[in-house]
A and B are shown apart, each in its own frame.
Chain A
């Protein structure tokens, strides 16, 4: 990591250096071209200047030659005589003289004109013409001829082209202030222009505009052109046409070498500068940004390893952005730290009661086990479960339930403090226990969930201490609690397990406290200390719990049927189906022992379905054999609240092609009390379907007659507790009597349960009760036995309820009565 980072920096620096050098190289090329261009321009300018000088010089020399020629006495005499041959002789002499001194100028021609520019004579060695208009640079002659006044005295010159070559012509007056004629001198400028090579110190080439080479320096070198820079210049005639092209060769070897050297120096300087700048930039970047970021990253790593580092602030130096980042980072860290503490607290503390939760309790228990084992100090676990708390939640709402639980938490704390088991003042001090070291002498109260509380009683001297605590708790729970105007009474059961007597590990101790708790509930006691004999029972419960699911699917359940005697008709036309579990090992188990389990495991629905189907199948079977027996099925409270129940029953009836009144459903009074509106809704649905409904165990619940009136039931079953004692207790007889009358007045049938002797049966008949059910008539038996019993007793009714509708049936019964 470090290596790659280092190499990354090196690569960056190297790239920057290379880049800067490339930039120099590229810009240098441009610069070199510019320099060359400037050199070329310079050369052209020099050429221009030298050309002008040379031409001016030649003009002056030509002028002086011409003026001196015309000034000579001899010339004047001859000219005065007007003899052109003589004149020619003189100018030929001049010509010869100047050919000898050709360094100064190279004469081409002399023309001698009279004052009207008529050609008088010309040098015999130059190109010959007939008249002035044919002269070399004839335009100059024409220009001179057209002059007047003082202008005619002026010396005029012209660079012109004749044929394809350039010439310089100068015209001077003959005769000074009073001109008598004119002399035109024509020279070859090429001769003089050649001297430019000496002036510039460079080889030159002179071309005619058409390209013909007219002069080339001896040292003109065409082979090593790369070391030379070519400059050129076009000499123009006075009229502006091209006269001569100049090329000049400038030796740039030295210049080139200097340029290369300078370039290398600049490149080296640029590379070094770039390197320094990059290194400096990296250094600054590292100091202001990278190092602080690294520190933040390190802090994150530390936090990853150790959560406690989370709130620790990181101090960084660097630029403002990085400092701002660090500040936000630190803020976030401390905020997260606070949140983390809070979550930790939430993870260990039950928010409702402020007591430690199950997790905290178990952690504490483990620590306690370690310390208690070392110190050989016994301690006790007390598990408290509230009886009937579920009903508070269901009937008064969770809000009240929550307040009640919170109250229980305080009660526990208070009661344990009273017996000196708790030293700390407030429940609120509990969270601090998360962080502090465990105090083995401190009692802990925890809420394990729902209505289950646990107490850890440390430093136990004897078992009696734990029992005292349990008693104290039970005592504390006794008084009614007023919550939002509702007076609530809830009893609690406490299970006690003691270390090391009942177990030396957390799991065993908790399990045994649980077993003790259920034992206490079973025997309806306030508390129970674990006893090995409880194990069997609790184990049985646990096994049953596990086996119930398979019992339904594997057909271990069966139905027993108890007949209901129609008192007026004196025959049996309906039976109550009662579910039994034929356990392969434990034999027949009654519903009281497994209905709770079914509820706990959520198997009520499946169980109800099975019972309904089985009962209706049996009904159909009997029907096919000519036995008409309505089947009554007990509906558990939970099944009653199943909104799908009516539909499922309808499906079953459809499946078996049975009318609805083949089935009677029995519900207890209390079953409708949890959510009366919902129960009423479902009962109405069932009633509308035509299913017969009965209230079971009537007289044991709290329902009022007013409420009963609202229920769409057809029948009430008086609880057996009233019926059994009837013959001996006048009160019970009165109750039964009143109930029968009342029911009849409401249009309901009455069934008396628990008929165990003949006199009771007779009394019931006398009171006008409609049906009797009980051991005296027959105990619940399997279908086959019931069939044979019916045949034996001959109590089978002739009236078939199958064919009659619900209403007519009621009428029929009335008629019978």
Chain B
């Protein structure tokens, strides 16, 4: 088995036995079970006639069921995006430093695995973990609402995948911080800072207009140019989930930026890791 894949699968196995991820899995499952059992949607001729939660009717106009579900999917996309990113920053901050812990890294480096495979495997494992969590939540929601209304859509899944990809770009920087300092706290701090700065970077164009021309404006433009546009990607994910039209060229450009940022951070981490003594 390829070293990178073996390391990634080991990370997935280890995460299954960690409390953070057990709690996330249980929480998602509880929400899905709650929706599955407590929510009743009456659909008549393709229109949502009534909505009942625990048997109590909710006020809503009669309208096409796919239109009625759009705000639900949009809210779910926002929750998965921001909630997932915040959770990921906290829960995954320890993966890098625990891999590099004294007594463990020597053992791993003495095995027939290349150094870059260890980091790439950790990165891939986190990517798979983020995708699995996002797809479980969004897929479960789409499945339950699809079964209740007959409206089947993959849009929530696409929105969730966008969140997972955005997180892995942030995780690239967290991993690089871990390689430089072997600290879970610093790794989490870098992730949190990028999360907040990424939200700001998503409003880059609007905020730039508020700056006076000068060094400050150029500095802001320069810094936000390279950061992942977290809030813009979150808006795009919500638009996709809510079946609103999106500019594919803009989405592709943002995704390219996210991938470039993530891989640049991973390359930085690998460069430092390759040259470091443990």
A and B co-occur in one complex: no
Which residues from chain A sit less than 8 Å from chain B, CB to CB? none
Which residues from chain B sit less than 8 Å from chain A, CB to CB? none
